[in-house]
Amino acid sequence: MSRHIMIYDTTLRDGTQGEGISFSAVDKVGLAHAMDDFGIDYIEGGWPGSNPRDMEFFSMVKDVSFNHAKITAFGSTRRAHKNAKDDTQLQTLLEAETPVVTIFGKTWLLHVTEVLKTSPEENLAMIQDSVSFLKSNDKEVIYDAEHFFDGYKDDAEYAISTLRAAHHGGADYLVLCDTNGGTQVREIDEIVAVVKELLPGVEIGMHCHNDCGIGVAVSIAGIEAGASMVQGTMNGYGERVGNANLTSIIPNLNLKLGYELSCQDKMNKLRSFSLAFDNAANRRPSKKEPFVGLSAFAHKGGVHANAAKKVARSYEHIVPEVVGNSQRILLSDMSGGSSIAMKAKSMGIELAEKSTEMRALLQKIKKLENQGHEFENADGSFYVLLHKEIMGYEDIFELVSYRIISEVVRDTDKNISEAVVKLRVKGEETVKASIAESVGPVGALDHASRIAFGEKFPALQSVRLVDYKVRILQTDQGTESTTQVMVKSTDGNETWWTCGADPNIIHASWEALRDAYRYKLLRSRELYIE
């Protein structure tokens, strides 16, 4: 394939209809710049006049130059029995001063008669008049045939007549919308082929939703059947379960099917491009997203990891770096020597897969995992374990004891936890004791521990606990169940996760904190200060 496909992004409009997705006008301008840099062809900025945020966005982008992308304003056809030039909504679209205008109209007779409450003939006039009016004002016009596939299955002749009306009005693209997201791949293929046959030479687009979990598949089916534009959203944002996901559509079209895209030279920026939208939406990225997700090229099973190490493509359909991602080896009780060797190598430690040390380390990991520890997402704890089991690292401090008292003051909202920690540095007889307060027991334990380290390990003073997660294992054992604690720490430059597990949640927390301290000491090489 060498046909060029236009990418139309509607994240800033249709994507924001998704639950929990919201962008400020400033965010939208920043994301529009990112889309332009990436090579997106059309950027649908919103619906002018529908809300103050979209009005502010279009006002801001009037004075912004884009290198490639065209900003698009979105709206509807004129109202029934009204002249296009007198329609307030169409005038607002013109006032947005965008080079492109996208309008939608009704295709399904159900919507024409029951929602618009007008006649089929008037609906056709609304479509043609609106497109013609916008074209007379020197706009590139993209016509979205809303509910096209449902309308076609209900009355194919009328659905096609709505496309003809838009075409006669001068529309540059006719976009077939699977608005309810219920059409299947075979149906898309057959219907788009019919449209191409009945309207030869007309540029067709696809706009699909993901209600059946096949939004990407039906979008691609439409392209294969002859469409030359595909609409979608980044990360699949959108109403209900979302729109067709451009982070999957783009690499599939180019890398798998060979279509030409304006953004194909930026494919290695796809993951960072995807993350920029999640960051702006204050949304945790989905690990399971194809191509761009953190788990997209992650290997956990020992057999898989071993094969991937020898020949990456044996378990990876593309080279991860092509889309800006990377291979990851996950550690668990399913891991084999290959997995551990690859993970250790990524941390700068070479291990022989079949050595005595490797067998011992593997058994240690399996034992700890069985007790409730988790190394898959706790790279800090794995790094410490490597040094303890392979490099001969021994703690240069030991816990003598800790005591925590939590106090709730009656008739107030004040909660206080106090921790007393006693530590001994190896080679010294004295015990260093410290006291600290916090709003919770783990915070108090963390603060008191770092105070106790004091002058001996100043590197630990920069360490902060930034995330804390608890998971109860063996839930059938009630309060005797093992508690798994995951702690995320940072020193301002690097972040790392560590893990602890114990029936006592405080001691599980101490284990995770202790590994966090160990990791920092190993990384800083500040093992002891005389």
Has residue 267 got a pLDDT over 90?
Answer: yes
Domain 6-280 in CATH: superfamily? Aldolase class I (3.20.20.70)
Give the span between the Cα atoms of 283 and 274, in whole angstroms.
11
Rounded Cα distance, 511 and 525, in Å: 21
Count CB atoms within 10 A of the CB of residue 314: 11
Could you tell me the pTM of the whole model? 0.74
What single letter denotes the amino acid at residue 198? L
Q: Is the pLDDT of residue 301 over 70?
A: no
Q: How far apart are CA 441 and CA 452, in angstroms?
A: 16
Confidence of residue 386 (pLDDT cuts 50, 70, 90): confident
Residue 118 pLDDT: 93
Domain with CATH 3.20.20.70 in the chain: 6-280
For residue 452, what pLDDT band results from cuts at 50, 70 and 90?
confident
Please give the helix or strand (H or E) that residue 501 lies within, else none: strand 495-502
pLDDT at 303 over 70: no
CATH 3.30.160.270 corresponds to the domain 397-524: yes
Mean model confidence pLDDT for the chain:
89
3-33: string of b/e by CB count within 10 Å (b at 16+)? eebbbbbbbbbbbbebeebebebebbbebbb
Rounded to 10 degrees, what is the CA torsion of 350, 355, 358, 359?
170
DSSP 108: S
Identify the pLDDT of residue 433.
81
Amino acid at 250: I
pLDDT band per the 50, 70, 90 thresholds, residue 529 = very low
The 3-state DSSP class for residue 358 equals helix
Report the percent of the chain where pLDDT is more than 70. Answer: 92
Task: State how far the Cα of 347 lies from the Cα of 385, in Å rounded to an integer.
Answer: 12
Strand-strand pairing, 100-106 and 140-146: parallel
Residue with tokens 């043609």: 128
Share of the chain above pLDDT 90, in %: 62
**Token digits of residue 6:** 């236009």
User: Under a CB-based contact definition with an 8 Å cutoff, are residues 496 and 370 in contact?
Assistant: no
* Range(s) within the chain of domains with CATH label 3.30.160.270: 397-524
pLDDT exceeds 80 at position 455: no
Query: Taking a C-beta distance cutoff of 8 angstroms, is the pair 304, 313 a contact?
Result: no
pLDDT of amino acid 526: 56
